[in-house]
Amino acid sequence: MDALELLLTRRSCAALAAPAPTGEALDAILTAGTRVPDFKHLHPYEFLIASGAGLDRLGALMTEAARKAGKPDEVIERCARLPHRAPLVIVVVARHKPHEVVTVFEQQLCAGAALHAMQMAAVAQGFGGIWRSGWLMVDRTLHAALDLGDQDQIVGFLYLGTPTTAPAPRPAVPLDAVVRSL
């Protein structure tokens, strides 16, 4: 797929099934995540991969986080199933690296760019994906269960697999609605 076409037609795909990327395809996706702009080359990201039984483990951690957060029973019950919406989930974490010039925010932006690059690399190889966020992304109980530090931050959950349906087309955003000259 042409790079510009990929960027101009990018769509998230929530309907995902096996197979998920593995082997060289997964390595290419992860490598794409490491090629993003990274001021001072801090590599302020970590990719936590869940597939197979790892999806159950991630679901159990999410369930416990919901329980400790006092979420309603239906939310707690749903948490165990959340990772199973795709055969592969990559939890992308901004791992804070103390630095006198590079701010926490810049490091979080770098990790977010890594997530986006990985989604694009998956799509370029014929897979589908969706970047999910939500309350679990900022839940400190889940962060602690994943051995993350106080300044580390989950920037998203990248769900990957093979699309079962084509993503719906998305209307173009009128540039005059988002662009202004200075």
Helices (H), 10-96: 23-33, 53-68, 73-79
The answer to whether 133 is a known ligand-binding residue is yes
Rounded to whole angstroms, the Cα distance separating 137 from 130 reads: 14
The answer to whether 181 is a known ligand-binding residue is no
The answer to whether 78 is a known ligand-binding residue is no
Rounded to whole angstroms, the Cα distance separating 12 from 133 reads: 13
Task: Give, for 161, the enclosing helix (H) or strand (E).
Answer: strand 153-163
Rounded to whole angstroms, the Cα distance separating 34 from 24 reads: 15
The answer to whether 95 is a known ligand-binding residue is no
The answer to whether 140 is a known ligand-binding residue is no
Q: Which residues are annotated as a binding site for FMN?
A: 10-12, 35, 131-133
Q: Which residues are annotated as a binding site?
A: 10-12, 35, 131-133
